[in-house]
Amino acid sequence: MRRVLLCLLNVTNNDAKYRAKVTQSCAYFSSTSPYCQDQPVQDRHIEEHERHSSTGPATRIHKLIASQSDPLLAKEIFDLASRHPDFQPSYAVFHSLIIKLGRAHHFSLMEPLLHSLKYHRFTISPSLFSHIIQIYGDARNPEKALKTFYTILEFNMKPRRRHLNQILEILVAHRDFIRPAFDLFKSAHRYGVPPNTRSYNILMRAFCLNDDLSIACSLLDKMYERDVLPDVESYRILIQGLCRKSQVNKAVDLLDDMLNKGFLPDTFCYTTLLNSLCRKKQLREAYKLLCRMKVKGCNPDIVHYNTVILGFCREGRALDACKVLEEMPENGCLPNLVSYRTLVGGLCDQGMYEKAKDYVNEMVSKGFSLHFSRVHTLIMGFCGLGKIDEACEIVEVLLKHQNTLHIDTWDGIIGRVCEDDAERLGDILEEIKKVEIKPGSRIVDIGAGFGDFIINRIKGRSRKKIILDEILDEMSPSSHYNKIDEPFLPLKLQTKVKEMETEKTGKRFAGKVAIVTASTQGIGFAIAQCLGFEGASLVISSRKQKNVDEAVEKLRGKGIEVLGVVCHVSNSQHRKNLIEKTLQKYGRIDVIVSNAAANPSVDSILETKESILDKLWDINVKASILLLQDAVAHLQKGSSVVLISSITAFNPPAGMSMYGVTKTALLGLTKALAAEMAPNTRVNCVAPGFVPTHFAEFLTKSDEIRNSLVEKTLLNRLGKTEDMASAAAFLASDDAAYITGETLVVAGGMPSRL
């Protein structure tokens, strides 16, 4: 036993804790007589106890292996025990060890144990069979799963249907293995496991997702040929697949076939069909299907009605949508908020403002909240027709029940009144001011809206400044202009204020708030400093408090208003805290520069570990998306987002291959976000060349590599952090007000572009 213990201790790599654990484990089975030829005399009482014990060495080894959390240690114990001629491993030992190694993805150690089972004439149990297949499935290795499935069949084990379905699900999850799954499915009867309904459903779903609808439909026919009864899910899968390929008429025929054979379609089948019919503008058929549902024993729910209402409204048939809504209570389904909002929007789009007004009043009477965009459209519609009284009536209803109204609506009403009847303006303002307003309500913007209208009709900047001051004095105290309350001003008035500040200070970011991530050194610090010199109130961040404090001290020493926040961009709580502290301090966000990046490996892509891939993706791409998700609701109109990519995005070099790929993703992300965030926010990207910062030190500190990089530029030098800062500041400023979705390469003429 001392030799066994010594062998175990030799594999512990001098780790004290590990050695102690091995020693403790060995002590558990060292007292058995086959292992205790050299046991000290004082331990003979243990030997005596073991002699009368019914627990043999194999059982104790099994318990020892089962107790190990480290599968490699468990395997080492098994191997050492196997060297003893008296040790006969039980099936339980193999079962426990195979599962441990498989779950840890040590397949090279697990597979020989499977063959050892055959050598020891053990039969693999259904439980172990299922575990092994699932282990390969979890590892996303369908090829190994299929190979192991066939290997286990060589043990003369008859698989069960759950094993067949399990391997089929693993295979069809990978597009390239749908055909092998189909081959296994067709040959399953040879192994005594004819496919059941679930087996067919798995294959049908796979072929539908792979757009092989003809094979999927033929499988349904074969089910009837082979006396396998399909279920509702079988039909649902095919209906969904046909609708995805816009074969709606075939899907309707399949629904009829389903009903004829005694199946009752569930609501999902009807929802899928109604959506497809409405998308294909077959509204008459959609309405007929809605009517048939109750006849066939499936009561339509609110989703079905709303789908048809939306379809009619999109096609300019709002009156038909009204008819559907009026039929809902008769069929035991009450309209909800979505029903009314959709209908009001459809009526307004067709200019039926009076009817839309009736439904708005009905919404209010039933306690539904009013959607701003729908009500704004209705009010503007009445204003466009010159029906100011009707518009004001809707305003009063809105204020009475929700106590809020968007500034754009006020501007529209007041502007229309001034154009038609300026004398009425004062009366309307006085009437609106009589409404009781809760603290913080945006009704205070009424003064700003009036001022916005007047300012646009006054010539001369100095005169406008005087009028502006008078308006701001007349506004309620909660809306007096300052850096926090500025968002409450209408856009045009905000623009005037910013123009005046810029004219006074000559700074492009005067009155604006900018967040720059990873900004305590290098390019990030240079960007933050540049924005600060241009008048921005800064929020900088870094992973370490020490770095944040040092950067804040430097910036404040240069007269820059700055807030420092610790933020690891891959930490969701840190990102939320960054946004919250910015709003608490400054009350707004105008500019976000996403600069954080990492390159923890110089390996080639195919040699990069999964953990490194995850880290690169999380920090270089995912963090920018999640940060903007947290911030988008607080971005001001006319705001700007700048993503920092890299010249390596266009041609990733060796040593930075995977880093370059993540930076390539930012180019596409810029395009996608620019489309999603327009017109409120512009999104652009800067792709810096090689800059001798701490981040790029491993490249620029070598004279040979440095000279090679310089030779690739047209300007015969590496970049400076100030070069990158100027580019980012330009894209973030109003100088680039008509630029969005673009990537600016700042690399001294170094070859780029895909």
- Of the chain, the percentage scoring pLDDT greater than 70 comes to 75
pLDDT tens profile 20-57:
544 554 554 444 433 333 333 333 333 333 343 345 56
pLDDT tens profile 670-687:
999 999 999 999 999 999
Query: For the residues 119-137, what does the mean pLDDT come to?
Result: 81
Tokens representing 78? 């098994």
Does the pLDDT at position 490 exceed 50? no
Cis (ω within 30 of 0) for the bond into 679?
A: yes
122: Cβ contacts below 8 Å, ≥ 6 apart: 91, 94
pLDDT tens profile 178-206:
888 888 888 888 878 888 899 899 989 88
Say if residues 640 and 684 touch (Cβ distance below 8 Å): yes
Catalytic residue among 200, 359, 586, 659: 659
Query: For the residues 720-745, what does the mean pLDDT come to?
Result: 94
Does the pLDDT at position 550 exceed 70? yes
Residue bearing tokens 């007096």 = 480
Residue ranges of domains in the chain, CATH in brackets: 402-505 (no CATH), 507-746 (3.40.50.720)
Full 3-state SS string of 181-199: HHHHHHCHHHHCCCCCHHH
Of 284 and 157, the structure prediction assigns the larger pLDDT to 284
Report which of 80, 77, 83 is spatially closest to residue 96, judged by C-alpha positions: 77
Could you write out the DSSP letters of every residue in 519-578? -SSHHHHHHHHHHHHTTPEEEEEESSHHHHHHHHHHHHHTT--EEEEE--TT-HHHHHHH
Most confident of 263-277, 614-628, 690-704: 614-628
Q: How far is CA 264 from CA 237, 331, 502, 702, in A?
A: 15, 19, 69, 74
Strand order in the sheet with 537-542: 562-566, 537-542, 513-516, 589-594, 635-644, 681-688, 743-746
pLDDT tens profile 421-432:
444 555 555 554
pLDDT the model gives residue 338: 86
Cα angle value 644/542/537 (rounded, 5°): 75
pTM of the model: 0.47
Whole-number Å distance between alpha carbons of 602 and 682: 34
pLDDT the model gives residue 549: 93
Task: Return the number of other C-beta atoms located less than 10 Å from residue 591's C-beta.
Answer: 27
Whole-number Å distance between alpha carbons of 227 and 39: 68
Catalytic, 340? Answer: no
